[in-house]
Amino acid sequence: MNRTTSQTTSQTTGRSWIAIASAEHVRRGRAEGFMQVCHGKAAPLRRIRPGDRVAYYSPTERFQGKDRLQSFTAVGIVRDGDPYQFDMGGGFVPFRRDVRWLDGRETPIQPLLDRLDFSAGVRNWGYPFRFGLFAVTDRDLDTIAAAMGAVLS
């Protein structure tokens, strides 16, 4: 484990998260008040608790798209309740959590990289995004929300 990863982990309260999905999927979740991660798996959603804060990072506009959006596309607070399954049709029944999404504008990650604990001074800053969901410091989520113009309560 490198110094930056261990440093970030020790500063993480477990109450702030970054989830990863295409912008089109995030926008649907915002409109309907839910989040899904890791292609609908339940285990990652069980790590999140009501009251936790989550920001979505979207590497692309569309799922499996080649376009590069690289922006934070949503920020919110997890609502009470456990993960639940939802039938989306065609045999796809992913797990979801309900989220109170906050008003905020989509914001590119590039100008924030040197200000975020998980990416400052890290050449391969995108590595944690491969996991679909990861814990970040509260300070990181505050920085992201402020850049998006969202008010966390």
Q: Does residue 153 or residue 37 have the better pLDDT? A: 37
pLDDT band at 14 (very low <50, low <70, confident <90, very high): low
Taking the complete model, does pTM exceed 0.85, yes or no?
yes
What percentage of residues in the chain have a pLDDT greater than 70? Answer: 91
Closest CA to 118 of 40, 28, 11, 38: 11
Give per-residue pLDDT as tens, 40-74.
999 999 999 999 999 999 999 987 777 889 999 99
Whole-number Å distance between alpha carbons of 97 and 78? 7
| Torsional sign, CA 112, 39, 30, 142 | negative
pLDDT at 9 over 60: no
The three state secondary structure string of the chain is CCHHHHHHHHCCCCCEEEEECCHHHHHHHHHHCEECCHHHCHHHHHCCCCCCEEEEEECCCCCCCCCCCCEEEEEEEECCCCCEECCCCCCCCCEEEEEEECCCCCEECHHHHHHCCCCCCCCCCCHHHHHCEEECCHHHHHHHHHHHCCCCC
Tens-digit pLDDT profile for residues 95-130: 999 999 999 999 999 999 999 999 999 999 999 999
d(CA 79, CA 62): 26
pLDDT of residue 8 exceeding 80, the answer is: no
pLDDT of 1 reads 35
How confident is the prediction for the chain on average, in pLDDT? 90
| pLDDT for res 13 | 53
Inform me whether the pLDDT recorded for 36 exceeds 50: yes
